[in-house]
Chain A
Amino acid sequence: MYRYDEFDAAYVKDRVNTFRGQVNRRIDGSLTEDEFKPLRLMNGLYLQLHAYMLRVAIPYGTLSSRQMRALAMIASKWDKGYGHLTTRQNIQYNWPALKDVPDILDALADVEMHAIQTSGNCIRNVTADHFAGAAADEIEDPRPTAEIIRQWSTEHPEFLYLPRKFKIAVTGSPNDRAVTKAHDIGLRMVRNDTGEAGYEVIVGGGLGRSPFVGKVVRDFLPKSDLLPYLEAILRVYNLHGRRDNKYKARIKILVHETGIEDLRAMVEREFEQLDGPSVALAEEEVARIEAYFAPPVFAKLPQHSSALEQAKKADAEFAAWVETNTDAHKQSGYTIVTVSAKAIGEAPGDLTTAQMDVLADIAEQYGHDELRISHEQNVILPHVRLDDLRIVHAALADAGLATANANLISDIIACPGLDYCALATARSIPVAQDIQQRFADPVRAKAIGEFKIKISGCINACGHHHVGHVGILGLEKAGIENYQITLGGDHTETTAIGDRAGPGFAFEQVGPAIERLVDAYISLRANDNERFLDTYRRLGLEPFKTALYDNERTAA
Chain B
Amino acid sequence: MPLVTKDGFQHLPEAAYITVDQLTETDEPWLAVEVAGDVDVSAIAPHFEKISLIAVQFPSFADGRGFSIARHLKRLGFDGELRARGHIIADQYAHALACGFDGVEINDEVAERQPFDQWQDAANKVLPPYRQKMAG
- On A, residues with C-beta under 8 Å from B are 5, 7-8, 10-11, 14-15, 18, 21-22, 25, 29-32, 35, 38-39, 121, 151-152, 154-155, 157-162, 235, 238-239, 243, 273-275, 278, 281-282, 285
25 inter-chain pairs at a CB distance below 8 angstroms, sorted by A residue, are: A8-B129, A11-B126, A11-B127, A11-B128, A11-B129, A14-B125, A14-B126, A22-B91, A25-B114, A30-B118, A31-B114, A151-B128, A151-B129, A157-B67, A157-B94, A157-B95, A158-B68, A160-B67, A160-B92, A161-B64, A162-B64, A235-B68, A235-B72, A238-B68, A239-B72
CA–CA, A281 and B129, complex, Å = 12
Contact of B61 among A29, A35, A285 (CB under 8 A): A35
B113 lies within 8 A of A158 (CB)? no
A238 lies within 8 A of B132 (CB)? no
Interface residues of B in 79-136 (CB under 8 A from A): 89-92, 94-96, 98-99, 113-114, 118, 121, 125-134
Interface hub of B67, B71, B95 (most chain A Cβ within 10 A)? B67
A154 lies within 8 A of B64 (CB)? no
B67 lies within 8 A of A238 (CB)? yes
CA–CA, A285 and B128, complex, Å = 15
Q: Hey, which chain A residues are within 8 Å of B71, CB to CB?
A: 158, 235
Closest Cβ of chain A to B109, distance in Å, is: 10
State whether A158 and B128 are in contact (beta carbons under 8 Å apart), knowing that A31-B89, A35-B89 are contacts in the complex. Answer: no
Q: Hey, which chain A residues are within 8 Å of B89, CB to CB?
A: 31, 35
B62 lies within 8 A of A18 (CB)? no
Q: Hey, which chain A residues are within 8 Å of B31, CB to CB?
A: none
Task: Say whether B69 faces chain A, with CB atoms less than 8 Å apart.
Answer: yes
Q: Hey, which chain A residues are within 8 Å of B6, CB to CB?
A: none
A158 lies within 8 A of B64 (CB)? yes
State whether A7 and B62 are in contact (beta carbons under 8 Å apart), knowing that A238-B68, A239-B68 are contacts in the complex. Answer: no
B129 lies within 8 A of A5 (CB)? yes
Q: Hey, which chain B residues are within 8 Å of A152, CB to CB?
A: 130
Q: A7-B129, A160-B95 are in contact. List 10 more A-B contacts (CB 8 A).
A: A21-B121, A31-B89, A157-B67, A158-B99, A161-B64, A162-B64, A235-B68, A239-B65, A243-B63, A285-B133
Interface hub of A14, A158, A282 (most chain B Cβ within 10 A)? A158
Closest Cβ of chain B to A230, distance in Å, is: 12
A238 lies within 8 A of B129 (CB)? no
CA–CA, A15 and B67, complex, Å = 21
Query: Taking CB as reference atom, which chain A residue is nearest B64?
Result: A161
Closest Cβ of chain A to B127, distance in Å, is: 7
Contact of B64 among A10, A30, A160 (CB under 8 A): A160
CA–CA, A55 and B75, complex, Å = 37
CA–CA, A275 and B72, complex, Å = 12
Q: Hey, which chain A residues are within 8 Å of B114, CB to CB?
A: 25, 30-31
CA–CA, A238 and B95, complex, Å = 15
Closest Cβ of chain B to A302, distance in Å, is: 43
Q: Hey, which chain B residues are within 8 Å of A278, CB to CB?
A: 134
Q: Hey, which chain B residues are within 8 Å of A275, CB to CB?
A: 75
State whether A158 and B62 are in contact (beta carbons under 8 Å apart), knowing that A29-B113, A30-B114, A151-B129 are contacts in the complex. Answer: no
Query: Taking CB as reference atom, which chain B residue is nearest A152?
Result: B130
Q: Hey, which chain A residues are within 8 Å of B63, CB to CB?
A: 161, 243
Query: Taking CB as reference atom, which chain A residue is nearest B109?
Result: A32
CA–CA, A243 and B94, complex, Å = 23
Query: Taking CB as reference atom, which chain B residue is nearest A38?
Result: B62
A161 lies within 8 A of B61 (CB)? yes
CA–CA, A109 and B94, complex, Å = 22
CA–CA, A154 and B98, complex, Å = 14
B99 lies within 8 A of A157 (CB)? yes
Q: Hey, which chain A residues are within 8 Å of B127, CB to CB?
A: 11, 155
Q: Hey, which chain B residues are within 8 Å of A159, CB to CB?
A: 64, 67
CA–CA, A31 and B110, complex, Å = 9
B129 lies within 8 A of A273 (CB)? no
Q: Hey, which chain B residues are within 8 Å of A238, CB to CB?
A: 64-65, 67-68
Q: Hey, which chain A residues are within 8 Å of B118, CB to CB?
A: 25, 30
Q: Hey, which chain A residues are within 8 Å of B94, CB to CB?
A: 157
Closest Cβ of chain A to B121, distance in Å, is: 7
CA–CA, A272 and B133, complex, Å = 24
Closest Cβ of chain B to A236, distance in Å, is: 9
Q: Hey, which chain A residues are within 8 Å of B72, CB to CB?
A: 235, 239
Query: Taking CB as reference atom, which chain A residue is nearest B90?
Result: A30
Closest Cβ of chain B to A419, distance in Å, is: 30
B69 lies within 8 A of A239 (CB)? yes
Q: Hey, which chain A residues are within 8 Å of B62, CB to CB?
A: 38, 121, 161
CA–CA, A160 and B68, complex, Å = 11
CA–CA, A319 and B65, complex, Å = 57
Q: Hey, which chain B residues are within 8 Å of A29, CB to CB?
A: 113
Contact of A273 among B64, B75, B131, B134 (CB under 8 A): B75
Closest Cβ of chain B to A478, distance in Å, is: 34
Sorted nearest first, the 6 A-B pairs with minimum C-beta distance are A161-B64, A157-B95, A7-B129, A157-B98, A14-B126, A151-B130
Interface hub of B61, B68, B92, B131 (most chain A Cβ within 10 A)? B68
CA–CA, A19 and B132, complex, Å = 20
Interface residues of B in 28-70 (CB under 8 A from A): 61-65, 67-69
Query: Taking CB as reference atom, which chain A residue is nearest B62?
Result: A161
Q: Hey, which chain B residues are within 8 Å of A21, CB to CB?
A: 121
CA–CA, A31 and B71, complex, Å = 27
Q: Hey, which chain B residues are within 8 Å of A39, CB to CB?
A: 91
Query: Taking CB as reference atom, which chain A residue is nearest B133?
Result: A285
CA–CA, A5 and B132, complex, Å = 12
Q: Hey, which chain A residues are within 8 Å of B65, CB to CB?
A: 238-239, 243
CA–CA, A31 and B130, complex, Å = 28
Closest Cβ of chain B to A494, distance in Å, is: 35
